[in-house]
A and B are shown apart, each in its own frame.
Chain A
């Protein structure tokens, strides 16, 4: 790790060399934690770019998933509450931004590596071997802003494939959270409708939503974080999780004791789950327990057939956040829980 960081910093020229080494040493130890105790926040640098992103540790534990009957604006699909056990993981402090996402989707690392004569090592080779999306027909920011803004409009498959690429690129295993992990991290030990309490009137301090966003997403990290240091977990953009959307999932789970790593592995393209609500939503959709189901309407303006497997042309309110479990899953576990992206065989046409 040390040599990788040094190399990429050197490549960009006049950085303070000593500081760079010290920084990368401390980064490396936080990143290589073996036990929950050793888990610290860290900054990951994406090789052959200037881009970094921050990860914060989420402790393992148990929680009640879903909302109680008494919660205002609660929907049927949020109950009954079920007890879930969560293993420790790191989670992105922020939603994945365009700065990060476009490296993968537009091959910016490859372009830069060639221009700057960057190192082409095993990690780079493995990352290059991961599928990248076709180019979007139109501008997927919809002119709402690029640098520092959350990436949007990707399909769940694209978000998963990005994670795979990021894993190869960094040597750390990244994936989307499960729906249970997402809610656990969002709640951060709280039992209220939002991670800051029950009062939606306080939402403006923590979240971008329909009434305060001026019809657009906003740069990440401008509002207060939740108790575990996650920014924009409510609002800004809804976030993809791994699960198929099953309205009565919790009913099926209830009575089975404490659930260990519950996930509804997708079997159909729609609906799948996004969480957290967005800039385009009312406050009740930003509640910790609220579940959002994808639908074919999210691609309604894609004028082609077959429609793109990478873009949701109408999901300008959906993005994602990455997690990194402390314990890296085995190939069998990845398969069992549907953690890997599966590109349809007829992709590319």
Chain B
């Protein structure tokens, strides 16, 4: 194409284009001999999607864009309209390869138990992309069924959920199931190289880390109170604003940055101190979550991770991670560091879409039968975010062990449209908001 020059005028774009072709070549070469590891008779991998929102649909698209013979065969969601629009979008996306999206009507499942029906319908790989609160239940069921799994981050919204995921992760290993977790920075070349260099001592010993997810917030509540048929439906449609579903924004988004610091430390914090609250997003339609957190995490060797996340418009925004070492400092997200001696390094290598690479890597492992399990660090980084939330809500230091000993569950007793979530609004529509110094969280 004559315009290809123009379409890649910038250096960044050029780099991206060159890498797109490099991805996945290693996978194709191994296809022939190893396709027997999955259940179906031929070499087709049958994928099921549980949770058909924007991200689930995106994840399905990436799974279907891997090099092997992959097709989407089943879908599940609590809401039929979400599933229908998801299918429609995927069909559009794959109009050039329609055989990849082949979902019969009897393989479309709606409701709270849709995930189980989907698992029972005979898929090889399941994508779990509902709101995070459901993940532990779905993950456990998928492991029990013996299918390979891609699950979005975070993998739970509360401690009991994390524990369930850790249990199931062990079982997944025993069964040699491949498990990918949507912490895509682990599959992003600039991150991988930067972290490796830091571990190799590029800026000396790491003395502290900082990370941020400060942004303008996410989508507005989608369903108005007067249009909701039940409290359960209201919260499910507006899931970001309810803790049992989302785990607050420190868990739902900021986990990415917290996880990078854990990755660099090769460890997880033992304790957290936090503060935060609801300063701007105070309307009752914003449910029960906070709009800002500042948390200090402490690792066993007393190293600190300073973390901020904020959902307030028109403030200093940053979604980044940084490390300070005895011999320099590093902007991890910017993939560059500088030593006290004046040496500067910046990643200049290839870049590729990490959302695609994470699926390429997972499906390569499935084809090759190589051990692949990201569930444990996914669960522990989720736990780190939750620990930050507990420390912030309570206004008191909370240790990892104390938190892990907690039996407090945020999940509803009954999963049905008539079921009652743990927190419900008062007569004016306001939810009880956790209050530092007052609320007991463990």
Contacts and interface: CB of A to CB of B under 8 A. Distances in A.
Interface in A274-302: 277-278, 280-282, 285, 290-295, 297, 300-302
Nearest to B59: A303
Contacts of B353: 300-301
Contacts of B318: 139, 143
Interface stretch (A2-10, A31-39, A129-137, A164-172): A129-137
A102 B314 contact: yes
A141 B12 CA distance: 17
Interface in A217-257: 245, 247-248
Contacts of A295: 7, 13
Contacts of A282: 11
Interface stretch (B131-139, B189-197, B213-221): B213-221
Contact of A280 (B10, B313, B354): B10
B317 interface: yes
Contacts of B60: 305
Interface string A9-42: 0000000000000000000000000000000000
A306 interface: yes
* Contact-residue size bin, chain A (C-beta under 8 Å from the other chain): 35 or more
A247 B320 CA distance: 38
Contacts of A137: 215, 218
B7 A300 contact: no
* Contact-residue size bin, chain B (C-beta under 8 Å from the other chain): 35 or more
Contact of A304 (B12, B58, B354): B58
B331 to A, nearest CB: 9
Contacts of A46: none
A77 interface: yes
Interface in B45-65: 54-55, 57-61
A143 B3 contact: no
A108 interface: yes
A309 B220 CA distance: 16
Interface string A75-112: 11100000000000000000000000010001110010
Contact of B9 (A135, A142, A285): A285
A292 B9 CA distance: 7
Contacts of A247: 2-3, 6
Nearest to B10: A280
A101 B109 CA distance: 43
A282 B9 CA distance: 8
B355 interface: yes
B90 interface: yes
Contacts of B13: 295, 297
A268 interface: no
B217 A135 contact: yes
Contacts of A277: 9
Contacts of A123: none
Given A300-B353, A301-B355, A139 B319 contact: yes
Interface string B1-26: 01101111111110011000000000
Contacts of A302: 58
A262 interface: no
Contacts of B40: none
Contacts of A108: 313-314
A138 interface: yes
Interface string B197-234: 00000000000000001111111100000000000000
A60 B354 CA distance: 48
Contact of B17 (A102, A215, A281, A297): A297
A75 B4 CA distance: 11
A305 B216 contact: no
Given A141-B317, A247-B3, A304-B58, A136 B10 contact: no
A118 B57 CA distance: 43
A271 interface: yes
A247 B319 CA distance: 37
A116 B54 CA distance: 37
B215 A136 contact: yes
B89 interface: yes
Contact of A297 (B5, B7, B57, B90): B7
A138 B249 CA distance: 12
Given A292-B9, A305-B89, A139 B54 contact: no
Contacts of A300: 16, 353
Interface of A: 75-77, 102, 106-108, 111, 134-143, 146, 210, 215, 245, 247-248, 271, 277-278, 280-282, 285, 290-295, 297, 300-306, 314, 316-317, 346, 349
7 smallest CB-CB distances across A and B, nearest first, come from A304-B54, A139-B317, A305-B57, A106-B313, A143-B318, A293-B6, A280-B10
24 contacts: A75-B6, A76-B2, A102-B314, A106-B314, A134-B219, A135-B215, A135-B216, A137-B218, A138-B215, A141-B317, A143-B333, A271-B6, A280-B10, A280-B12, A281-B10, A282-B11, A291-B6, A292-B9, A293-B3, A297-B8, A301-B355, A304-B54, A306-B89, A314-B16
Interface of B: 2-3, 5-13, 16-17, 54-55, 57-61, 85-86, 89-90, 93, 184, 213-220, 313-314, 316-320, 333, 346, 353-355
Given A292-B6, A305-B89, 18 more contacts: A102-B313, A102-B314, A135-B215, A135-B219, A138-B215, A139-B317, A139-B318, A291-B6, A294-B7, A300-B16, A301-B355, A302-B58, A303-B54, A303-B55, A303-B355, A305-B60, A346-B85, A349-B54
